[in-house]
């Protein structure tokens, strides 16, 4: 009986995580300033466990970032140890090798806390309208001509925006309001999702996401198999 409740609860939590990242993506769409994000939907949103492994990603968004964003949080954790992270911190980069592919894509990572304990991460990505350089990246022959590279930085510390960073960025791009606005909306959507995650964990009395992470990270193999066999049976 307890097993049944657990299985059921796990399925509900799993549905909730997917709904949560969908809400994260919707907030990004609603608050973004750049038309590439808000009209073309060139964005991604996802939730990660406390070790930086992706658990779920929003349906809304572009498939272009799927695998790159899945790896991106791990690169932040190599530079900023989990122990150094505080509630209200937010990290960003547009490193094309360690982020999602080119300088136009910013990855924003927000640690999620439950009662001062780090329980996971939210990451979101969007394509900003300009990043300086030649403007059209295919015209560039080196990455330096492509524009400004922002290394892994803590751009919000305990809720305080790093003004130096935003001033530097604004001085180097052609549409500073839109680019700054898009970064703020990435921060917003992660914050909304982190608040929802804490509420969800309280609702289901979870202290960590470990047990939940064990499910989806182990389950895809068997669900892929059963889907495959289902398809074979259908086509037979």
Partner 1 sequence: MSHDRTAGHLQKKLINARSHPGAFAGGTLKLNLKKAQDVMGAIKGLSVPWAAAGISEIVEENMASAARVHAIERSRPLERCTMIAFGGAAPLHATRLAERLGIRRILVPRDASVGSAVGFLRAPFAYELARSLTLRDDQFDAGAANRLLAEMAAAAKAIVAAGTKGKIEIRRSCEMRYIGQGHEIVVALPDTNLSLDDVKALRESYEARYEEQFHMRVHGVPVEFLTWNVVAAAASPAWQEPELPAPTRTAPREREVFDLNAGNSGRCPEFARDALVPLEWHPGPVVISEPQTTTVVPKGWRVQLARDGHLVLENSGQRP
Question: Per DSSP, what are the bridge partners of residue 111?
Answer: 121
Asked if 219 interacts with partner 1 (CB under 8 A), we say no
Asked if 164 interacts with partner 1 (CB under 8 A), we say no
Residue of 12, 168, 214, 219 interacting with partner 1 (CB under 8 A):
12
**Residue 120: alpha-carbon gap to chain centroid:** 11
Contact track, partner 1, 192-211, x by CB under 8 A: x--x---x---x--------
Q: How many residues does the chain have?
A: 236
Closest CA to 14 of 153, 204, 181: 204
Query: Contact region for partner 1 (CB under 8 A) — 7-15, 47-55, 142-150, 224-232?
Result: 7-15
Is 216:57 a contact under the CB 8 Å cutoff?
no
30 or 117, CB closer to partner 1?
Answer: 30
Asked if 8 interacts with partner 1 (CB under 8 A), we say yes
Asked if 5 interacts with partner 1 (CB under 8 A), we say yes
Buried b (16+ CB within 10 A) or exposed e, 16-52: bbbebbbbbbebbbebbbbebbbeebbbbbbbbbbeb
State how far the Cα of 135 lies from the Cα of 219, in Å rounded to an integer.
Answer: 43
State how far the Cα of 80 lies from the Cα of 120, in Å rounded to an integer.
Answer: 14
Query: Contact region for partner 1 (CB under 8 A) — 16-24, 50-58, 95-103, 227-235?
Result: 16-24
Is 54:47 a contact under the CB 8 Å cutoff?
yes
What's the min distance (Å) between Cβ of 96 and partner 1? 26
Asked if 32 interacts with partner 1 (CB under 8 A), we say yes
4 or 138, CB closer to partner 1?
Answer: 4
Query: Contact region for partner 1 (CB under 8 A) — 97-105, 111-119, 133-141, 178-186?
Result: 178-186
For residue 233, count CB atoms less than 10 angstroms from its CB and return exposed for 0-12, middle for 13-18, buried for 19 or more. exposed
Residue of 78, 157, 167, 177 interacting with partner 1 (CB under 8 A):
177
- In the complex, the residues that contact partner 1 under the rule CB under 8 A are 1-2, 4-5, 7-8, 11-12, 15-16, 19, 22-23, 26-27, 29-33, 35, 38-39, 177-178, 181, 184-185, 187-189, 191-192, 195, 199, 203
């Amino acid at each position: 009986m307890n097993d049944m409740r657990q299985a059921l609860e796990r399925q509900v939590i799993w549905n909730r995580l997917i709904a949560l990242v969908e809400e994260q993506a919707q907030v990004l769409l609603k608050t973004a300033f750049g038309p590439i994000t808000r009209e073309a939907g060139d964005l991604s949103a996802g939730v990660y466990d406390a070790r930086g492994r992706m658990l779920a990603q929003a349906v809304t968004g572009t498939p272009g970032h799927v695998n790159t964003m899945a790896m991106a949080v791990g690169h932040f954790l190599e530079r900023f140890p989990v122990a150094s992270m505080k509630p209200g911190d937010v990290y960003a980069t547009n490193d094309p090798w360690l982020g999602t592919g080119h300088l136009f894509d910013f990855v924003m990572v927000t640690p999620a806390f439950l009662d001062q304990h780090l329980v996971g991460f939210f990451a979101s990505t969007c394509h900003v309208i300009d990043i300086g350089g030649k403007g059209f990246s295919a015209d560039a022959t080196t990455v330096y001509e492509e524009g400004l590279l922002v290394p892994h930085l803590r751009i919000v510390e305990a809720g305080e925006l790093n003004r130096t960073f935003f001033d530097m960025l604004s001085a180097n791009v052609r549409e500073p309001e839109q680019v700054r606005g898009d970064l703020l909306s990435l921060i917003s959507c992660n914050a909304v999702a982190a608040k929802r995650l804490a509420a969800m964990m309280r609702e289901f009395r979870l202290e960590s996401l470990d047990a939940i992470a064990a499910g989806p990270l182990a389950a895809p193999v068997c669900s892929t198999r059963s889907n495959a066999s289902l398809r074979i049976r259908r086509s037979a």
